[in-house]
Amino acid sequence: MRLRNIKGAREAMISSPYTVNEPAANKGKWAEFFGNSNPIRLEIGTGKGQFITALAEQNPAINYIGIEKYSSVLLRALQKQEVLQLPNLIFIRMEAEEIEDIFAQGEIDRIYLNFSDPWPKDRHAHRRLTSGKFFSRYDKILKKDGVVEFKTDNVDLFAFSLEEIPAAGWTLDKVTHDLHNDAAMNEGNIMTEYEERFSAQGNAICKLIASR
């Protein structure tokens, strides 16, 4: 998702109390940053932040960090958070490839990947957020019993992920090809912006949960 360049988006981000501009300085110290030892969960590619904001509202005893590479998109998430002022939610504008520089071994409790960019060309497979390369990064920052949750309507990306994740040494704990008609997996589901849009068009939503 790339919105038009919004004038002042970068400046608004830098001055917001809900973004961290030098995140590497908090590596290994995120509990100190939040002022508590609650679990820390990440959404990578958070877009306009609907999903992670709803989670943070529902779960005040969990800390949430939304990661997004474009300021123009993240600005929308920040605008919501500036109204809500949730103490357990912050955003970082960054490229997900750098997560190992930002989070220490085992510092993260759960990672959410929602409607990640498909990168359909084979030569770009390593850029997919469900590639083995990314899972080896997740392995470094996730605590031992941490999980990765992934939702998409893209059947090719989902099929790739179902092969790639076990090949990277992870276990697929739960899988559905039709989340909204799977009562058990859909319980408590929070829809993302893309999920609302694509399910309204009749696309089935796929979801998997992976652990080591």
User: Under the criterion CB under 6 A, does residue 193 sit at the interface with ligand SAM?
Assistant: yes
User: Under the criterion CB under 6 A, does residue 96 sit at the interface with ligand SAM?
Assistant: yes
Give min distance, CB of 69 to ligand SAM, in A. Answer: 4
Q: Which stretch binds ligand SAM (CB under 6 A): 9-17, 155-163, 178-186, 193-201?
A: 193-201
In the complex with ligand SAM, the residue whose CB is nearer, 16 or 114, is: 114
DSSP helix/strand/coil, 92: strand
CA distance readout (Å), 76 to 12, 70, 80, 157, 181: 11, 11, 7, 27, 30
Burial of 85 (0-12, 13-18, 19+ CB in 10 A): exposed
- Bridge-based pairing of strands 40-44 and 63-68 is parallel
* Among 125, 134, 138, 112, residue whose Cα is nearest residue 194: 112
Report the site for ligand SAM in 114-133 (rule: CB under 6 A). Answer: 114-117
Among 13, 26, 30, 47, binds ligand SAM (CB under 6 A): 47
Is residue 117 flagged as an active site residue? yes
User: Under the criterion CB under 6 A, does residue 69 sit at the interface with ligand SAM?
Assistant: yes
Cα(212)–Cα(208) distance, rounded to whole angstroms? Answer: 13
Compute the C-alpha angle 32/38/44, nearest 5°.
90
Catalytic pick among 101, 109, 117, 145 = 117
Give min distance, CB of 97 to ligand SAM, in A. Answer: 6
Interface with ligand SAM (CB under 6 A): 1, 45-47, 67-70, 73, 95-96, 114-117, 192-195
Which residues participate in catalysis according to the annotation? 117
